[in-house]
Structure 1
């Protein structure tokens, strides 16, 4: 329910235009919405439908809101007092006034403060229930996930190998007999390794190379291994012994793959921060856009810090961290947010953008490419699909709520 709509006190000329379950829609609310739309259209140069059609559209919207609010009240979800207190304080901050000044302004406009708090509670309740109910309706199949993963795969991180070796060194200038003797030792070491003998024991007993970490070289991609080694191990799994002795200028090598970690799909992660202003009766979308545009000018002009503006103004949990959202993979944010974020250069600030959560200002801080394993790939794909399906799921939920609601239209008094 709109706080502005509910905040207008009943007037003698006012009347009920619709009853939705136990909620009322009054003519004054419809007129208030009409007036607000006309103001914004005039300021933005937007053409509106004829008055009769516009009134029908607004009335239909108000009936939908009342039906959803009625369903939300019956859901069992509750908004606690501390959260409501924070929301009221945010309204005051948005209007750049103190809480005491907000009370005075509401009183001057004939709006009861308790009623005002009640309307804000309704807004919070409706947002929370709407998000929960819509998310519960979104179904994502495994085949959809696999299809999206295949279509979005842009690269794969190389696998890494931890290879251990027994090195049987051959001195420079060694005779053929000495080389043959060293080869025989290496062949015997390979036979013992393939027979399952502990490889660390073989390294300790026979290797003339490094014996630290059991002769292990540590996790390395193939391009960081000698070509002789990488060619031999690239198709082997963890625990496998290279089936033949390898020979190099240093001597003879017996190799075992201690560990193999296959690389996942490479994705680009972004570290960004934002300022979020939630629209309401007290802060229209147009005003929120204007305010964020002003914030952008202040930061671009060096007159303010993005982080400080976020701490003082942003209306989500990131405010305390200066708007920091952490490292995010594709699909973590709503599509409209992500689409704009992708276009930004490092340290660039976006123009204000609108999402279902409100109006945002975004700044990109860093980007990086990281491998993600199969499980992470599936989760990213599910997030992307979930956001893609949100709008249609919301429309379906709204239709169902409206269909279940009792709606009684009232004629104007004669």
Structure 2
């Protein structure tokens, strides 16, 4: 970057602002930036050198304004001038570290892909590529440099995702703990109806008595395996108060049943019988699962949704993106536009070509803020603009279905959720590693 002429610094500052942590490539035309930017009141100079990349005073001032504006939008206190400046410098240094790492990584963005990115930027600003180039020339901005900066941002996004994901490790134990917790969360919502054959064992019974009782429950088990109905065997052999009802205990919430019973029937199909007798303080039990009042543990609700994604940048604030998507929503509800057409034209996401269709997804597939908003919508419903770390979304739910998923699919979903939880820590660790190997020189203002 040090080889670029001074007028290009403004373009670089705008491009660098497109690489916020965890966001995908954020790009608007330098033409729009040049049309809306105000001349800096302070002289420009180099604030920091990061490997071969530069951070300039104009960039720092722009970023300070962005941070302050974002704090005000969120009704948060605006940091004092010193803290605000430090936040801005740190953010810009982090961005330069990523661009530098991307350049050194050997990753490539071919010209065809870059052409598509430029076409999308032009379309977002209601310009043709030729008009975009003309606007750049009018503002004294080099088109080749514009493309080069855009290529850097795409590369930085790719290496960020690759390196951060490679640092996220989810163990089998963590997955098991998560699934156990999820099953536990279902306890207050699921109602089980269980029947039992109970052979009581007196407290303090001798080994001989225990053996006798065990032989009796095994006799009951043999009759069941021979095909006798559970209710018949229960009436004949059970020693509990429900024997005349075929041993049926009646529907109860899982958290109102003994853990021994819940764990024993957790994975049984309805109508299934425990394969072996259970031993409790009361005696020996054989259990039959008569019904589940709600979904099975392996059943999930999948959602088919679509979205329009706008990515905020130095030239498109979060508020501007929200207003634009609110306008889109109004057009759709009024019948003046179709969701899929707007997605194809404006969405900055790989799903744009499919009209924003994200396909069928299971719980845990999306970041929490997106999934929470999606889950709150009825079929056919369209959300208000939703802000996530990837940008601002307009979401529509197309359909829902309940499906039985395999244990492998449940584990895969758990791994995705746990990976998402670890993303921020992995991202911070990667930045720390980049810093530890980088040349970073902070410069004093010129006299």
TM-score, normalization: structure 1? Answer: 0.69
Do the aligned partners of 1:275 and 1:313 also contact (CA within 8 Å) in 2? yes
Query: What CA distance in whole angstroms lies between the structure 2 residues aligned with 1:47 and 1:97?
Result: 38
Q: Is the 8 A contact 2:16 2:92 kept in 1?
A: no
Tell me the equivalent position of 2:414: 381
2:95 match: 65
Query: How far off is 1:108 after superposition?
Result: 2.9
> Are 1:83 and 2:113 counterparts?
yes
Residues 270-301 of structure 1 show CA distances to partners (whole Å, capped at 9, x for unaligned) of 00001112233443333222211211111122
3-state SS of 1:365 partner: strand
1:127 matched to 2:160? The reply is: no
1:288 to 321, 326, 335: 321
Deviation of residue 81 (structure 1)? Answer: 1.2
Structure 2 counterpart of 1:304, from 337, 356, 361: 337
Residue of structure 2 in register with 1:25 after alignment? 55
CA distance 1:298–1:355, shift in 2 (3 Å): same
Is the 1:40–1:286 contact (alpha carbons within 8 Å) kept by the matching residues of 2?
no
Q: 2:128 aligns to what?
A: 98
SS where residue 70 of structure 1 aligns?
A: helix
Q: Aligned ranges for residues 89-168 of structure 1 at < 5 Å?
A: 89-153=119-183, 154=186
| 1:325 to 1:61, Cα distance in 2 relative to 1, 3 A | same
2:385 pairs with 1:352:
yes
User: Counterpart of 1:326?
Assistant: 359
Paired residues of 2:67 and 2:88 also in contact (CA < 8 A): no
The one of 398, 405, 409 aligned to 2:431: 398
Q: CA deviation at 1:84?
A: 1.2
Inter-partner Cα distance in structure 2 for 1:379 and 1:5: 35
1:335 aligns with 2:365: no
Within the candidate set 41, 52, 56, 2:82 is matched to: 52
Q: Deviations over 1:214-253 (max 9, x none)?
A: xxxxxxxxxxxxxxxxx9x84599xxxxxxxxxxxxxxxx
Distance 1:83 1:309 in 2: 22
1:372 to 405, 419, 435: 405
Superimposed CA distance per residue, residues 254-279 of structure 1 (whole angstroms, 9 cap, x where no aligned partner): xxxxxxxxx86011100000111223
In structure 2, runs of 5+ residues without a counterpart are 1-11, 18-29, 193-225, 227-268, 276-295
Indicate conservation of the 8 Å contact 1:77/1:125, yes or no: yes
* Structure 1 residues 235 and 23: CA distance shift in structure 2, 3 A: same
SS at match of 2:97: helix
Partner secondary structure for residue 304 of structure 1: coil
Equivalent pair of 1:3/1:123 in contact (CA under 8 Å): no
Superposition CA RMSD, Å: 3.1
What displacement does 1:341 show?
1.1
Alpha-carbon separation, structure 1, partners of 2:76 and 2:127: 31
Structure 1 residue 315, shift from structure 2 partner: 1.8
Give the 3-state SS of the residue equivalent to 1:333 in structure 2: coil
How far has the Cα of 1:387 moved from its partner? 1.1
Question: Contact 2:15–2:153 (CA<8 Å) still a contact in 1?
Answer: no
Number of residue-to-residue matches in the alignment: 316
Alignment check: 8 A CA contact 1:279 1:285 kept? yes
Q: Following TM superposition, by how much is the alpha carbon of 1:403 offset from its aligned partner in structure 2, in angstroms?
A: 2.5
Question: 1:132 Cα shift?
Answer: 0.8
Q: TM-score of the superposition, structure 2-length normalised?
A: 0.64
Moved more, 370-379 or 30-39: 30-39
CA distance in 2, matches of 1:348, 1:355: 19
Question: How far is 1:35 from its partner?
Answer: 4.3
Deviation at 1:138, TM superposition (A): 0.6
Are 2:16 and 2:153, in contact at CA under 8 Å, matched by a contact in 1? no
Q: Which residue of 1 aligns with 2:305?
A: 272
Q: After the TM superposition, which parts of structure 1 deviate over 3 Å for at least 4 consecutive aligned residues?
A: 1-13, 34-47, 153-156, 233-237
Name the SS of the counterpart of 1:48 in structure 2. coil
Tell me which residue corresponds to 2:349.
316
Q: Matches of 1:28 and 1:325 in 2, distance apart? A: 40
